[in-house]
Structure 1
Amino acid sequence: MSTDKSQEEFYSKLRTQLYETSSWPSEYLYKFIVKTDAQKIEKIESIFNNMGAVIKTIPSKNGNYTSVSINVQLPTPEVVIEKYKEVTDKVEGVITL
C-alpha cells in the first residue's frame, strides 16, 4: 500500500531529522487537529498520561475543530514516532502537524 510506504518514509525522514537537530532526551512538541469531540480529545490526552506532558487545547473560530498541542520530554526519536503512530491508530480523523 502506498500510504503505508509513504508513512514509513515520512517517519524515517523524521527520525533522521530528530537525531540531527536535537540531543536526546529532548522536549518535543506535538500538534494535532481533530474534529471537536470530547472523546477524541480525551483519547489523545490519555496517550500522553503520566508522562509529564503539558497539554493545551484551542477550539477553532467556529468550534468545529480543536487544536491539541502537547509538549513532552521524550528519551529518543523512536518514542516520538511511536506516539505519533499510537495517536493516528487510536483517534479517527486526526490530522498531525
Structure 2
Amino acid sequence: MDKKTEEFYIRLKEELKNTSTWPTEYLYKFIVPTDAKKVEEVENAFDNMGAVIKTHHSKTGKYTSLSVNVTMDSPEDVVGKYIEVSNIEGIISL
C-alpha cells in the first residue's frame, strides 16, 4: 500500500472513531467495470455479514455501482474491508 493510501486510511479510522458509536451501520460505495465476476467478488466480500447490497448500472453499461449497507464492529473493521476489496481489479471506492 502506498503512503498516500495508508495516510487516508489512518485519517478515516480517526474520523470514524470520533463520529460514530460502535458497532454501527456503515455504507460502502464502490464502482466496478460491469462484469458479473467482479460484482460477485464484491458481494462475496460481504457474504454472511447481513449486508444489504444494491447495484446500479451506468448509462452506458460499462460500470456497475454497488452500495453495501452493513453493520461493522469497529473503524478497524471498516478499513480492513476497504483493503480487502481493493484487490479486486478495476474497483473504485467512493
TM-score tier after normalising by the smaller chain length = over 0.9
What is the rounded CA distance, in whole Å, between the counterparts of 2:61 and 2:80 in structure 1? 29
Q: SS where residue 86 of structure 1 aligns? A: helix
1:96 aligns with 2:93: yes
In the TM superposition, residue 58 of structure 1 has moved relative to its aligned partner by 0.2
SS of aligned partner of 2:21: coil
**TM-score, normalising length from structure 2?**
0.98
Q: What stretches of structure 2 of length at least 5 have no aligned partner? A: none
Question: TM-score, normalized by length of structure 1?
Answer: 0.95
Match of 2:3 among 2, 5, 23: 5
Structure 1 residue 93: Cα displacement: 1.0
Match of 2:30 in 1: 32
Query: Where does residue 53 of structure 1 map in the other structure?
Result: 51
Q: How many angstroms apart in 1 are the aligned matches of 2:53 and 2:71?
A: 12
* AA partner of residue 95 (structure 1): I
Q: Please, which runs of 5 or more residues in structure 1 have no aligned partner?
A: none
Residue 83 (structure 1) aligned to one of 62, 81, 91: 81
Asked if 1:72 corresponds to 2:66, the answer is no
> Number of residue pairs matched?
94
- Residue 42 of structure 1 deviates from its aligned partner by 0.1
Does structure 1 residue 23 correspond to structure 2 residue 21?
yes
3-state SS, counterpart of residue 24 of structure 1 = coil
Deviations 1:62-85 (A, max 9, x none): 111000110000100000000000
Q: Which amino acid aligns with 2:30?
A: F
